[in-house]
A and B are shown apart, each in its own frame.
Chain A
Amino acid sequence: MFDELSDLYQQVILDHSKSPRNFRVLPGANRSAQGYNPLCGDNITLYLELDGDVVKSAGFQGSGCAISKASASLLTEMMKGKTTGEIRSLFNRMHDLVTTGKCEGAPDGKLAVFAGVHKFPARVKCAILPWHAAMSAIEGKQDPVSTE
């Protein structure tokens, strides 16, 4: 009966929402950005430590639903060691994945767990919010981003 829900709330997502990784203010952060969805109240601040063009470390704080928490947690894990160009390309593939359920090539093993989101149009904004915050942090923007 809850097949669609099991698709949405895959074990990896439940795990990351219950025990979010890198859930902290990063002491060495030299970039940060806030993602805020005023309609639902999800509020996530993303911290990055950039060494030249490479992400050395990432962390986040805030409050949100299981989807946005898990998305932020997985994002901070996979950003480590990647260049900003690589992250931008991953962002595009993540965007395709959560809106269509498909994307060109494998986005990264773990990100595939978000494929079920596209069946829940109201929840796409939850999954993509931390990514918008990440792009904003990389680009050094000051205003909070929103996916609403």
Chain B
Amino acid sequence: MSFLSKTHFLRARNVGWDLIRSDFPILDQTVNGEPLIYFDNAATSQKPNAVINALRNYYEKDNANVHRGIHELSNRATAAYEGGRQRAAKYLNAASSSEIIFTRGTTEGINLVASSWGGANLKAGDKVLLTEMEHHSNIVPWQMLCERTGAELLYVPVVGDSGQLDLEAYDRLLGQGVKLVSVTHISNTLGVINPVAELCGKARAAGAVTVIDAAQSAGHLKLDVQALGCDFLAFSGHKMCGPTGIGVLYGRLPLLESLPPYQGGGEMIQTVDFFKTTYAKPPHRFEAGTPDIAGVVGLHAAMDYLDGIGRKAIFEHDQDLAVYAYAQLSNIQGIRLFGPPSGRGGLVSFLLEEVHAHDLVTFADQKGIALRGGHHCNQPLMKKLGVPSTARASFYFYNTREEVDQLLDVLIEIRRFFGSNPGI
């Protein structure tokens, strides 16, 4: 099932970014009297017509519950849902579509691993290794698990404002009896791209299970779970042109087969007796209740759409914007930029001396520019960097260098407006 028109494929060969922009109806509006510049893509991306139409089409023509109906609509809904699973397997180059579990998003995927894998495998004294740049969603589930089991958390340090991982420390920490490593692919604050294949290879050699948080990478670059050598990988649909409320957890099949269920309910059972239930095989064992069928249909359309453009082209475009923005913004007096100048993901975090990030974001909003200001669900990292918050511009393939230039102008205006500010 493809919702991508032929014209999209034709465009993709030459990648006509201007035309692609017109696939997103929401971008064609003014905010506070100015053309909208949407630079909050790391929080959530906008949705192309292909995805909006797929959702509409599903609800107008095919909506029914899955896996239990005999009737035609239920067959169609089931085919759409399981078709989405096959599409996701292809998107990640998974060995089998049984390795694709649909979740509400990255957060639920990580919670599922912590609950099912962690509950079955961790005991007091075991170690879980994270990094200092993790999002709260890749910290809190592990803290909860450690409180429950008596296992301990270790963190790979982040070095300086450029924010690369201390890889020597990683090697050292791995040797301390680590049972599981969970690491982000691309940092949502620093834009650092971690060498996840290398990290997974070393972890596997040390006998540790690996989890990749791909929330910031799944919509931006090609992912091959077999080449990465990870055991689990989680991402969210809404950050990659898909609907909110749908995500994917990839899990290596032998591991999934060994795990207990996550939640109990319909869909995940084989037989239910009043006192005993036998569970379905993966992936359905981990999908209790009526799933987000429309979400899967929308995500399927999003994956088709992204691959229609080409993830290589998307990554090059996003990275070009981030490197350009980093270089342009570094000319502003009193700016502090986070993350590496090059080789980074499509976002830039920064602070203007003496201007609080929230004042900056309110200002930019009056110019039609949507930024994020705050701790970005990275409170421990903020503490490490010694800042209460940062402002962040995060890009996607529909953004342009001209928009980055406008951001630069507004930041210069903000400096002028607030003038010298001794601050608190």
Contact = CB atoms under 8 A, between A and B. Distances in A.
Nearest to A4: B366
A20 B424 CA distance: 8
Contacts of B379: 41
A67 interface: yes
A17 B358 CA distance: 13
A47 interface: no
A131 to B, nearest CB: 18
A66 B359 contact: yes
Contact of A40 (B366, B389, B418, B421): B389
Given A40-B374, A40-B389, A41-B382, A67 B421 contact: no
A43 B379 CA distance: 13
A64 B358 CA distance: 9
A101 B34 CA distance: 25
B388 A43 contact: yes
A65 B359 CA distance: 6
B344 interface: no
Contacts of B274: none
A41 B33 CA distance: 30
A23 B423 CA distance: 11
Given A20-B424, A65-B356, A66-B356, A5 B363 contact: yes
Interface stretch (A49-57, A89-97, A119-127, A137-145): A119-127
A64 to B, nearest CB: 7
Contact of A62 (B359, B363, B424): B424
A18 interface: yes
Interface string A63-99: 1111101000000000000000000000000000000
Nearest to A8: B362
Which of the four size classes fits the interface of chain A? Answer: 20 to 34
B421 A65 contact: no
A126 B358 contact: yes
Contact of A18 (B33, B358, B388, B421): B421
Interface centre among B363, B422, B424 (most CB of A within 10 A): B424
Given A42-B358, A63-B388, A64-B356, 17 more contacts: A4-B32, A5-B362, A5-B366, A17-B421, A18-B421, A19-B422, A23-B424, A39-B374, A40-B358, A41-B389, A42-B388, A63-B424, A66-B418, A67-B359, A120-B362, A122-B362, A126-B358
28 contacts: A1-B33, A1-B366, A1-B367, A2-B363, A4-B32, A5-B362, A5-B363, A17-B421, A18-B421, A18-B423, A19-B422, A20-B424, A39-B374, A41-B375, A41-B379, A41-B389, A43-B388, A63-B388, A64-B356, A65-B357, A65-B358, A66-B356, A66-B359, A66-B418, A66-B421, A67-B358, A69-B424, A123-B362
Interface of B: 32-33, 356-359, 362-363, 366-367, 373-375, 379, 382, 388-389, 417-424
Nearest 9 CB-CB pairs, A to B? A65-B356, A65-B358, A41-B388, A66-B359, A41-B389, A18-B421, A63-B424, A65-B359, A63-B388
